[in-house]
Structure formats: C-alpha cells, structure tokens
Chain A
Amino acid sequence: MRQTILITGASGLVGAEIARSLSRRGEVIGLEHRAKLSVRARRGDIAKRNLGLSASDANALRAGVTAIVHAGGRTEFSMTRDAAERANVDGTANVLDFARGCPRLEKVILLSTVYVAGKRTGIIGEMDLVHRAGFVNEYERSKYRSEVLARRAMRDLPISVVRLSTIIGSSRGEIARYNAVHHALRLFHNGLVPMVPGEAKSVVDLISLDDAVSAVESVVTQFEPGTTHHVAAGRSALRLDDFLSSTATLFSRHGNGWRSRGIETPPIVTLRTFRLLESTARKTGDVFLQQVMTTMSTFAPQLSYPKVFDTTSLDRRGIRPCPLVEYYERVIRFALRRGWK
C-alpha cells in the first residue's frame, strides 16, 4: 500500500533531508510554518492544537496519513524553559493527539536527542529514559519530557523513538546549518576559548547528516513499535583530548597563518574551574567575554558528564556511522573556506 508520510519540521536540517529521502518511498507531506519546502506542504504549527490546521485540512490529512515523522521543534541550547516547553513538549503532545485521530496510521517516528540522558554518566542504554540526574540546558530537558510523553503514548500508538547525536556536517564535509558545536569551534579557531570542561573519560559524540538520515529511513522502513534507537558514534566517539588536538592540527594545516598566532589548544578542566571562569567573566562586565562564555556554557558542561551511548539497534541493522576521522577534515576545510557562515 502506498504510504502517505507526514513530516513535521520538514524545513529543518534533518527534516528536510528525511523528506527528500522518503519521497522515494511514498507521498510526503511536510508541515511547515516558516519556509518553502521541496515536498508537498501544509502550512501549520505543531505548537498549536490540530497542528495549527483548519478543521477541514486536519480531517483531510488525518484520513490519509499512514506514517508521521515528528522532526519538528526547536534545537537552540540557549532557549528559556517556556520556549523549550512550548516548542518541544507541547509540540509533541499536539502531534500525538493528531496521530490518535488517524485511522490508517501505521507508525509514528519521534526524532529526539541522545542528550535526553542529561547529566547521566556511563553507558546509556537505548531503552533508558527516566532519571533524576538533571540537565545541562532546557533543550535537553524539553526533549526528555517529550520522550516521556511518547513513552506513555506507546500504549495506544505505534511509536518508535530515534535519538540523534550532534550532527557536525555531511560526510562530504558540507555544513548546512551551524549549531553550538560549530560556534564553539569557531571560537577556538579565533583564539577565544581559554579552557573546556571535561574529564579524562570524556568523549565527543558527533555524527554526519547522511548517517542520521539513513538511520531514520531504516527505522521508518523497518519499523518496530515500542522501540528507541541511538544514532550515535557510541564506542567509536573520539576522546575529548584527541578531538581538541585533531582540531588544532587541522586549523594549523588549513587556517591561513593560524599557527603563527600561537593559539593554544584549550586545556580540559573540571566543571568547577569552568564555572569559576564563567563567574569571573561576568564580574569583568565585558559584554563580549560574557557572550563567548554563554556560547560555551549552554552545552560545554555536558562534557563533564562522560557517557557512551549504546548503539545496539544500529549495529543489529548493520548500520555503522562513518567514523569522524574520515570526514572531519572536510568539515573543517568547509567551515574555514566559508568563514564559518
């Protein structure tokens, strides 16, 4: 039977690629409220009831949809709690409500983040969810709460959750959208990072956009309700110290005159020392310094909670994310050529 797949967040980094990829497998309808899409679109808003659609549009859509890929929401680490709740928790609740009214629905795929694990440390299992370790930012907290809703809804809806790690670029090195990690790398390149929080065991888990999309497509096509999947580097993630020194090597190699500026690789410090740096920057009253620290502070403390994401389900499907070392140089060259824009 031909699939009709509704994708929320179809103008986002991952949503857009998934929409393009799934177009080969069925009719794709993208829900958007901001941008033009490359697929058939409906103007809506997940933050509103009925996804912001008129009653007639909502009913027409519900009647035909066989699959929903919920890639919508907001991903900024610096969001306030209210903004994160509205976009990610209420958004997910509205999508699940909508899904309940779809008579032909076979599958719902919720895109989440591996960082629902928050401040947990150690091995993070794919079915692990509820914890009291706390979160580094409101984005993590809101995605956690949206997964809690989804986990509950698994009783009456066919849902699978895909948790993505941080996307650094495509395996060809292209960066379609710059995120907090790119901003931090830019600061490092510009000699503005005095230190990075972390531990000896800390790793930097990064994946390519193509691996994210392939994995999501696999979960859609070989759907198993009630499951959760990690799309992450997992055990092959680079150690933080190796990541920093590799980055410095690449900057030296490709950054015009970078080496002669004497920029040091930032040392790895305890979270306590990093917090002291934050408070000292605040006390200077220097706006620029404070902005630099804010960029780092919204996510860098996550490095102080070392963890490895179990990737059993990807392994079982024979999906192995491309190791970062194979394409990281292309990503850095792309960023440097484009001036981080």
Chain B
Amino acid sequence: MNRNVPGISAVSYALGGEARAVSAQRLRDFGFKTIHLAGSETAYDLARRATSKLLRNVRLDPESVDILVYATALPLPRPRSRNPLAQFDYPATRLQYELGMTRANVVGVSQAGCVSLFSAVRLARDVLMAERGIQRVLCVGSDVLPRGSSREILYNAMSDGACALLVERGARNTILSYAQSTKGFYWSARSGEHQLIATYFPTAKRVIDEALRRARTSIDEIKLVLPHNVNEKSWRLLLELLDVPRDRLFHRNIARKGHTIAADPFINLADARSIAPGDRLLLFTFGFGAHWAAMVVEH
C-alpha cells in the first residue's frame, strides 16, 4: 500500500429488492439466471441505501467526506411539477444533506453510460492527487430502468442497482492506472449496433492493454478480472482475445445479479473473496456513448 496513491477503501451496494428469474431462453443461454428490479424504489432510494450502508460499515463520520461525486447513466426522472425550479431538484445534493455530509462539495457525472461510476472514481483519484487538502471522496452511482422497460439490452439481462465507494489516499485497493476510450461516433445507442458489437472487442483489448501498460503490469500478473456483467459468451471471446483463462474472471455474479448499469465491477470487487494483499485486479466496463474503460487496482 502506497500512502500517497489513492485507492478504494470501502464498497457497499444495494440491488433492486425484487428478484426475478430470467425466463428468456436466449438470455439464459448467455449466462443469466436472476435479475433484480427496484420495484417501487427510485434510483435515489437505492443510492441512499448503498451510501448509508457504507457509512455504517466503516463507521465513517459523514462530515469527514470532502467531495461527493454522484454518477448516473440515465437522465433524472422528469419532475411532475410545472414549476421550472423543479428541474433543479438534484439527488446528489439531497444525498449530501440527508446523510449529513455537510462539508462535502458535490459533483455530478453523467452521459457516460455504464462508465459513469468509473468516471467518478477516476475524478476522485485525480482530485486526491491534485489537491493536498482533500482526504476523502465518496463516489455513488445509481440507475433504475424506467418501469415497464425491456430488461434485455444487446443480449444482456439488466438489473437495477446502486454502489457507493470511498476513495482516499493510502487505501487498500490502490488505483494503479486508468485508461479510457470514447468513440463519439456511437453517440446514438440505437444506431450502429452491429458496428458497435464489432468494435467492442478490439477496443476493449486496446484499452485494457493501455491500462496494463500504465500500471506497468502484464496480463499474466492480473489475479482476477472484475467485469461489468455482460453475458458469458461475450466475456469468453474477450478473454480469448486477452489470452486470459476463464478461472481468472469473477463471473458468478453474471448469473446471480445480472448487469446493473454502472456498478458491476465494484459490486464484484466487494463480493470477490479470493483476493490477497498485493494481488493486482483488472476492472473493466463499457458504456453506451460509447466508452470503454479499464482500471488496474492493487489490493
């Protein structure tokens, strides 16, 4: 552990409370068994649940949080009121207030799809390295698909979920590197689906290779790959491209938890048990927009 380099010291998450078995055969063939729907809870409710849990678990004084970064992939729900001021009701500042993080500056991150929480962690890391006075950054990501939405997106079964992470200097999951590629050509998620599928694999490999290079780590030194929970077949292909054996992918949450929009790699970090101090982990995700992001972390 390097005392000066930021890392992720705590992770807590909240999934939608309504567990539902995946019935579509194609999704089951692609590795999904159960998804979690928010039901009557909103994205804010899940964010509050995840953040409260984190504050409780680490016994963190909420007033010690310097910055709160709130990440969303989906647009905020349209306010019911016709009063234009209702457009400025922000869950981020509401969370800061309701959980007593009264010293925290608040930043919102959006328009990065499933990469939004990764972007939040990246910002947290960069701020901690740039500003000596900042000690703790709390990153929260939460997304709930609108009621009645299809739960299949490009061969993936979607869950609702939120995740809260504490990023601080000298923490046990040191962030060794971050790499991202954004291809704005795919700004519309509905067009160019086949091109997106084709470019997904080589771009993922390139971004992962870049993250490894920046961390001065080879793929062979990675103990565990913590994925975004896209389907098993897609991961099988990407692992072949990376020349990584399947037993180094933490894949069991794909079946059990489905694919939350932005929280998967960090949920997987929280759930992975077979990690020892010094192990290097590769976190990877992809978001519509389109963005590919990878992070190398040392436990």
The answer to whether B194 and A280 touch across the interface, beta carbons within 8 angstroms, is no
Which positions 208-249 of chain B face chain A at CB distance < 8 Å? 233-234, 236-237, 240-241
A283–B202 CB distance below 8 A? no
Interface size on A, residues (CB 8 A): 28
Among A191, A280, A289, the residue within 8 A (CB) of B237 is A280
Given known contacts A195-B202, A289-B194, A269 and B185 CB-to-CB distance under 8 angstroms: no
Q: Check: B174 CB closer than 8 A to any chain A CB.
A: no
A280, B233: Cβ atoms under 8 Å? yes
Q: Check A194–B236 contact: CB distance below 8 A.
A: no
Whether B195 and A191, one on each chain, are in contact in the complex, defined by CB atoms closer than 8 angstroms, is: yes
- The contact string, 1 if C-beta is below 8 Å from chain B, for chain A 286-302, is 10110010000000000
A273 near B: Cβ within 8 Å? yes
* A276 pairs with B201, CB closer than 8 A: no
Any B CB within 8 A of the CB of A260: yes
* Contact A283/B197 with A264-B203, A269-B241, A272-B240 known, Cβ cut-off 8 Å: no
Chain B residues positioned under 8 Å from A273 (CB to CB): 237, 240-241
Interfacial chain A residues near B200, Cβ < 8 Å: 194
Contact A267/B241 with A190-B195, A194-B200, A262-B203 known, Cβ cut-off 8 Å: yes
Contact: B26 with A285, CB < 8 Å?
yes
User: In residues 264-278 of chain A, which contact B (Cβ within 8 Å)?
Assistant: 264-267, 269-270, 272-273, 276-277
Chain A residues contacting B199 (CB-CB under 8 Å) are 191, 194, 262-264
A102, B200: Cα distance in complex, Å: 60
Nearest-CB residue, chain A, relative to B236? A276
B103 within 8 Å of A (CB atoms): no
Assess whether B151 is interfacial by the CB under 8 Å rule: no
Contact-size category for B? 20 to 34
Question: Which residues of chain B are near A292, meaning CB under 8 Å?
Answer: 194, 198
Assess whether A284 is interfacial by the CB under 8 Å rule: yes
Residue in chain A with minimal CB distance to B201: A194
Let me know if B29 and A283 touch, CB within 8 A: yes
Q: Are A194 and B197 in contact (CB under 8 A)?
A: yes
B residues less than 8 Å from A284 (CB atoms): 26, 155
In the complex, per-residue mask of A190-230: 1 if CB is within 8 Å of any chain B CB, else 0: 11111100000000000000000000000000000000000
Chain B residues contacting A280 (CB-CB under 8 Å) are 233-234, 236-237
Cβ–Cβ < 8 Å partners of B30 in chain A? 283
Chain A residues within 8 Å of B198, by CB: 191-194, 292
- Bound state CA distance, A27 and B234, in angstroms? 60
Chain B min CB distance to A293 (Å): 11
* Closest B residue by C-beta to A284: B155
A2 within 8 A of B: no
For A264, the chain B residues whose CB sits under 8 A away are: 199, 202-203, 206
Among residues of A, the one whose C-beta sits closest to the C-beta of B155 is A284
Q: Is B49 an interface residue (CB 8 A)?
A: no
Q: For residue B185, which residues in chain A have a CB less than 8 angstroms away from its CB? A: 260-262
B231 to chain A, nearest CB (A): 9
Residues in B with CB closer than 8 Å to A267 are 201-202, 205, 241
- Which of A193, A264, A265, A266 has the most B CB atoms < 10 Å from its CB? A264
Could you list 29 A-B pairs, sorted by A, with CB under 8 Å? A190-B195, A191-B195, A191-B199, A192-B195, A193-B198, A194-B198, A195-B202, A195-B241, A260-B185, A261-B183, A261-B185, A262-B183, A262-B185, A262-B199, A262-B203, A264-B199, A265-B202, A266-B202, A267-B205, A267-B241, A269-B240, A272-B240, A273-B237, A280-B233, A283-B30, A286-B194, A288-B194, A289-B197, A292-B198
A interface list, Cβ under 8 A from B = 190-195, 260-267, 269-270, 272-273, 276-277, 280, 283-286, 288-289, 292
6 more contacts with CB within 8 A, not counting A195-B202, A267-B205, are: A194-B201, A195-B201, A262-B185, A267-B202, A269-B240, A292-B198
Residues of chain B having any CB pair with chain A under 8 Å = 26, 29-30, 155, 181, 183, 185, 192, 194-195, 197-203, 205-206, 233-234, 236-237, 240-241
